[in-house]
């Protein structure tokens, strides 16, 4: 039975659970970014938010900067809990984590996700063209400001930025150095959530190169962080995936 741990935060206790949904954060995000999901998710989906090192109560732990090391650890943490129907939702960085972990589970266990939602996530071969994690602090903060990746009050606070900047930089390194074969070797069903003002549709759909099954695509608006501004639609689409299973 899955319990709260340093990696997994169980956000609800559904009465008629049919699916466990593991939710992976975007760069700099903690498990708490998914708290709003529990108000709308209903009584059939158990929400489990993944808490990575170097944030919230794990602030004093070193962050992961290598995708293989991270997903190796996550697999070890959840491998005994995969005998119930489960799925993955990952936004931005979280989409890359969900993809790589899904591949690992298919390779090393008898189980597989019911579906994987890859939300607002660039494919590895496009991410690999970036080296933003190497920017100096001033340029990196300006990048975060331009991308509206953190609240203005946080970006303007030198004390807060000194605390969280190393974590965000490590997260950027995690995705920008993540290399995986551009082959169709993931078998689990994949749905792409995307805003075309953020990532061009053709780029978002190039996830098909990495996935064996035919990917589905759902368009959103609201910029890169539409999981907040378009929360009702995000939850509705996740519920639809459960219905179609």
In whole angstroms, give the CA distance from residue 212 to residue 187.
5
Give me the pLDDT at residue 195, please. Answer: 96
* Distance in angstroms (rounded) separating the CA atoms of residues 217 and 188: 15
The pLDDT score that the predictor gives to residue 243 is: 76
pLDDT along the chain (245 residues), means of 10: 92 96 95 96 97 95 98 97 96 97 97 97 93 91 79 77 91 96 92 96 97 96 92 97 77
With residue 174 as reference, give the H or E element that holds it.
helix 158-176
Tell me the three state secondary structure of residue 31: helix
Taking each helix axis as running N to C, give the angle between helix 67-78 and helix 93-108, from 0 to 180 degrees, rounded to the nearest 10. 60
Which residue ranges form the domains of the chain, and what is each CATH number? Answer: 8-244 (3.40.50.1820)
How many angstroms separate the Cα of 120 from the Cα of each of 46, 136, 172, 207, 222?
A: 23, 25, 15, 11, 11
* Count of CA atoms in the C-beta half-sphere (13 A) of 202: 0
Q: Quick one: pLDDT at residue 215?
A: 96
pLDDT for residue 149:
63
pLDDT, residue 156, reads 81
pTM for the model stands at 0.95
């Amino acid at each position: 039975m899955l319990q709260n741990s340093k990696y997994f935060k169980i956000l609800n206790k559904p009465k008629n659970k049919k699916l466990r949904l593991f939710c992976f954060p975007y760069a700099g995000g903690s498990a708490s970014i998914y708290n709003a999901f529990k108000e709308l998710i209903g009584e059939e989906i158990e929400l489990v938010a993944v808490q990575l090192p170097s944030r919230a109560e794990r602030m004093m732990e070193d962050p992961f900067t290598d995708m293989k090391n991270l997903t190796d650890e996550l697999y070890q943490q959840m491998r005994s809990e995969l005998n119930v129907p489960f799925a993955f939702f990952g936004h931005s960085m979280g989409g890359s984590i969900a993809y790589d972990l899904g591949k690992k589970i298919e390779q090393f266990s008898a189980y597989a996700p019911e579906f994987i939602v890859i939300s607002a996530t660039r494919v590895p071969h496009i991410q690999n063209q970036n080296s933003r994690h190497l920017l100096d602090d001033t340029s990196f903060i300006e990048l975060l400001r331009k991308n509206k990746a953190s609240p203005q009050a946080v970006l303007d606070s030198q004390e807060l930025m000194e605390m969280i900047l190393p974590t965000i930089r490590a997260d950027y390194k995690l995705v920008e150095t993540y290399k995986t074969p551009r082959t169709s070797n993931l078998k689990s069903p994949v749905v792409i959530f995307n805003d075309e003002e953020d990532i061009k549709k053709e780029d978002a759909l190039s996830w098909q190169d990495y996935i064996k099954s035919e990917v589905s695509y759902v368009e959103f608006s609201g910029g890169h962080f539409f999981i907040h501004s378009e929360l009702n639609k995000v939850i509705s689409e996740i519920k639809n995936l459960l219905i179609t299973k």
